[in-house]
Amino acid sequence: MEEKLTIDDIAKALNVSKTTVSRAISGKGRISEGTRARVEAYIEKHNYKPNSIAKSLAESKSYNIGFVMPKDFTITDLTFYQKCLWGINQVAVENDYDVLVSMVAPDDLSQLSRLIENRKIDGAILGRTSSTNVIERFLRSQALPFVTVGSSVDSSVLQVDNDHEAACNELTTKLLKNGVRNIALIGGDTQYIVNRNRKRGFIRAFENADLQLHEELIFTEGNSQEYVENAVDEAIKNGADCIIAIDDDVCVKVINSLEMRGIKIPNEMGIASFYNSYLLENAKVPVTAVSFDEIKLGQVSCKTLIDQINQEEPIKKVLLGYKIELKASTMKQK
């Protein structure tokens, strides 16, 4: 391997000053087209790559952003984060940033705080928001720019989210139009805002359609196997004709529960879900589901963050769209 070139080497070789070389590279400050081109040609030819650490030190910027994800993820979350990360990374790279991963728990922000103390990141993207917004408050106390993926209870926070409320509202409305009336909503922890928003959309659909909401069919305080099984039992007992699962993981549990109880999908019970992930692929019946563009979500949140880091007046709140696909799981056969 050849020795790494420095800006100094280039300056000497080209008989100009380091300042000039630096300007030619960054494009900042006045510089004649001629010199710029000469420098560029030299760089191209000798495959010069600036030392990003030196740049960082001089500019007091790390050119890294942190993607903060919770330690306690479910499998659905995981694929979600992964796709998000993919989008984030794409935009980050385009803007000359790299992405550091940080795993936190509400009671353990040590990893994140270490990253900040060490000045390793210029900003952060929060993968999950909760109603306690501890992480948001922490980041603000550290004066670190950040964006949340998912809505925050704190409206002053930059946030990029799917429009979960509208999505759940539209899904529910479609199902109601399809003829079911006693729709159950199962799963989720209303500590998380995403679940609150879906619930709100669900309730609103009944209001808009002037139909009676069945409170006794709402089970939104858990995701565990036991919780879901129990919810399914209750739903059946209370006359549900359709179940909306809060995510694909819960959906799989619901499907298994129904199967064990000998209840046929869709004729005896309709099923719909959120995310339309890999998990539904193995289901016997194609499942009606809302899907989101997680990669886009990552891209937009990353762009928003970088704009903020660069003081470019980012938009405060962005809501992305969704797609609803009605499939066999909610189409009764005559």
Partner DNA sequence: CTGAAAGCGCTTACAG
Question: Which stretches of the chain bind DNA, using CB under 7 A?
Answer: 4-8, 15-20, 22-23, 25-26, 28-32, 34-35, 50-51, 54-55, 57-60
290-329 binders of its own copies (CB under 8 A)? none
Structure-block tokens of residue 200: 């709100």
Closest to 325 in 3D by CA, of 218, 170, 179: 170
1 binds its own copies (CB under 8 A): yes
Binding partner at 15 among its own copies, DNA, none, C-beta below 5 to 8 Å by kind:
DNA
Alpha-carbon span 195 to 246, nearest angstrom: 7
Determine the interface stretch with its own copies among 76-84, 122-130, 147-155, 317-325 (rule: CB under 8 A). Answer: 76-84
46 binds its own copies (CB under 8 A): no
Binding partner at 7 among its own copies, DNA, none, C-beta below 5 to 8 Å by kind:
DNA
64 binds its own copies (CB under 8 A): yes
Alpha-carbon span 80 to 225, nearest angstrom: 21
Q: How far is the CB of 63 from DNA (least distance, A)?
A: 11
105 binds its own copies (CB under 8 A): no
Dihedral, 232, 222, 325, 279 alpha carbons, nearest 10: -90
| Residue in this structure with the two tokens 């619930």, named with its chain if needed | 199
86 binds its own copies (CB under 8 A): yes
Closest to 201 in 3D by CA, of 96, 274, 93, 152: 274
The β-bridge relationship of strands 270-274 and 242-245 is parallel
Q: How far is the CB of 56 from DNA (least distance, A)?
A: 8
Binding partner at 41 among its own copies, DNA, none, C-beta below 5 to 8 Å by kind:
none
Q: Write the burial class of residue 289 (CB in 10 Å: 0-12 exposed, 13-18 middle, 19+ buried).
A: buried
Q: How far is the CB of 100 from DNA (least distance, A)?
A: 20
Residues in the interface with its own copies (CB under 8 A) total 45
* Amino acid symbol at 318: V
| Residue in this structure with the two tokens 């769209």, named with its chain if needed | 321
Q: How far is the CB of 291 from its own copies (least distance, A)?
A: 16
Question: Is the CB of 36 or the CB of 174 nearer to DNA?
Answer: 36
| Residue in this structure with the two tokens 């099984």, named with its chain if needed | 229
Question: Is the CB of 137 or the CB of 284 nearer to its own copies?
Answer: 284
Determine the interface stretch with its own copies among 19-27, 57-65, 154-162, 208-216 (rule: CB under 8 A). Answer: 57-65
Count each helix (H run) and each strand (E run) in the chain, helices first.
12, 12
Question: Is the CB of 7 or the CB of 121 nearer to DNA?
Answer: 7
Range list of H helices, the chain: 7-14, 18-26, 33-46, 52-59, 75-94, 110-117, 134-141, 164-177, 193-208, 225-237, 248-260, 294-309
Question: Is the CB of 119 or the CB of 264 nearer to its own copies?
Answer: 119
Residues near its own copies (CB under 8 A) are: 1, 49-54, 56-57, 62, 64, 71, 73, 75, 78-79, 82, 85-86, 89, 93, 98-101, 103, 111, 114-115, 117-120, 142-143, 225, 252-253, 256, 260, 278-279, 281-282, 284
